[in-house]
């Protein structure tokens, strides 16, 4: 294995991972009191992640597993649902008092927050409705960053390993993942920026969620590479697909519907799917 191959593989992984920064920057150009763009952005993110999971990552895993195991499709589907189960377990391990997915006894907690200071304009759900709970919105951004980082970790090694095996395939995967990492960065940055009005914090969390990708490549190279084969890589792809679907259905879409008006989240979801479909078609 040549040094140049390793450097290129790491570069592609870093490119894909840190594309979350582009999404973070995009969030700063939205109006803080316009929550329709927040709903649209979260819906767009979920559309991208759901589409690429079902139409690209999971099918790739199935094909790869069928080449190595007679029950490859069943094994891939088991790993897919294993990824969902893993995400569910992680979600359940988060303390209830800080878990945004747990129901609250006082439903008004979801909408009411302390009065703004210094006459600062605080965003509402829609005109005439109570102001949003910035703490809940901040938690959404933070836990979205954690969840994205978790699934970016195996993605990073997948890009790295694919690039070592076939540079053209590695480039295609890196570009596809980079495209869907942009709205992921947006999904992290938007709620944090709306909640804190702190561009630096929103930027850092988005960048850290993307940093998990090159970190996954590095750890995989140092520890896992000598022991992993194509079958194990296919397993990781299926797990990643399950994790991404769980994030979309359990985190992004519920958050998008919270700030929805006139089906903004649905429009975002459909357009997100369309953008990812077009990008994958152009990459074929």
Q: What is the three-state SS of 99-126?
A: CCCCCCCCHHHHCCCCCCCCCCCCCECC
Handedness of CA 232, 78, 44, 142 (dihedral sign): negative
What pLDDT does 161 receive? 76
Known binding positions for Fe(2+): 152, 155, 181, 184, 213
Tokens of 282: 């152009």
pLDDT at residue 98, as a whole number:
43
User: 259 lies in which domain range?
Assistant: 3-283
Residue corresponding to tokens 């709620």: 191
**Does an H or E element contain 79, and which?**
helix 72-93
Q: Which residues are annotated as a binding site for Zn(2+)?
A: 155, 180, 184
For 151, the token pair is: 């699934």
Residue 50: partners with Cβ closer than 8 Å, 6 or more residues away: 244, 245, 248, 249, 269, 273
Give the gyration radius of the chain's Cα atoms. 19
Bind-site residues: 152, 155, 180-181, 184, 213
Which residues in the chain come in under a pLDDT of 70?
Answer: 1, 30-35, 38, 94-137, 147, 151, 169, 172, 176, 179-180, 228, 259-260, 262, 283-284
Strand, helix or coil for residue 239: helix
| Predicted pLDDT at 187 | 73
Query: What is the predicted pLDDT for the residue at 33?
Result: 52
Q: Which residues contact 13 (CB under 8 A, 6 or more apart)?
A: 156, 159, 160, 163, 174, 213, 214, 216, 217
Q: How many domains does the chain have?
A: 1
Residue 34 pLDDT: 58
The pLDDT score that the predictor gives to residue 115 is 41
């Amino acid at each position: 294995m040549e040094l140049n191959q390793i450097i290129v593989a790491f570069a592609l992984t870093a490119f894909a991972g840190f594309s979350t920064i582009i999404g973070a920057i995009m969030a700063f150009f939205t109006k803080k009191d316009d929550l329709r763009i927040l709903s649209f952005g979260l819906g767009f993110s979920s559309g991208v992640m759901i589409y690429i999971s079902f139409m690209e990552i999971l099918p790739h895993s199935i094909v790869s597993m069928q080449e190595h195991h007679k029950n490859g499709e069943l094994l891939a589907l088991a790993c897919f649902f294993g990824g969902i189960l893993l995400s569910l377990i992680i979600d359940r391990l988060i303390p209830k008092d800080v878990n945004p997915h747990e129901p609250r006894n006082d439903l008004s907690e979801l909408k009411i927050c302390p009065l703004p200071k210094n006459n600062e304009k605080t965003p509402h759900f829609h005109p005439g409705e109570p102001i949003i709970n910035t703490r809940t919105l901040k938690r959404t951004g933070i836990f979205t960053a954690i969840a994205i980082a978790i699934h970016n970790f195996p993605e990073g090694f997948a890009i790295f390993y694919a690039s070592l095996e076939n540079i053209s395939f590695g480039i295609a995967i890196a570009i596809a993942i980079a495209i869907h990492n942009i709205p992921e960065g947006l999904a992290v940055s938007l709620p944090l920026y709306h909640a804190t009005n702190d561009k630096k914090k929103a930027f850092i969390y988005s960048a850290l969620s993307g940093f998990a990708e090159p970190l996954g490549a590095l750890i995989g190279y140092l520890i896992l590479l000598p022991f992993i084969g194509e079958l194990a890589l296919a397993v990781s792809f299926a797990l990643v697909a399950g994790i991404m679907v769980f994030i979309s259905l359990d985190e992004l879409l519920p958050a998008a519907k919270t700030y929805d008006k006139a089906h903004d989240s649905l429009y975002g979801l459909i357009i997100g799917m369309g953008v990812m479909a077009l990008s994958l078609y152009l990459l074929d």
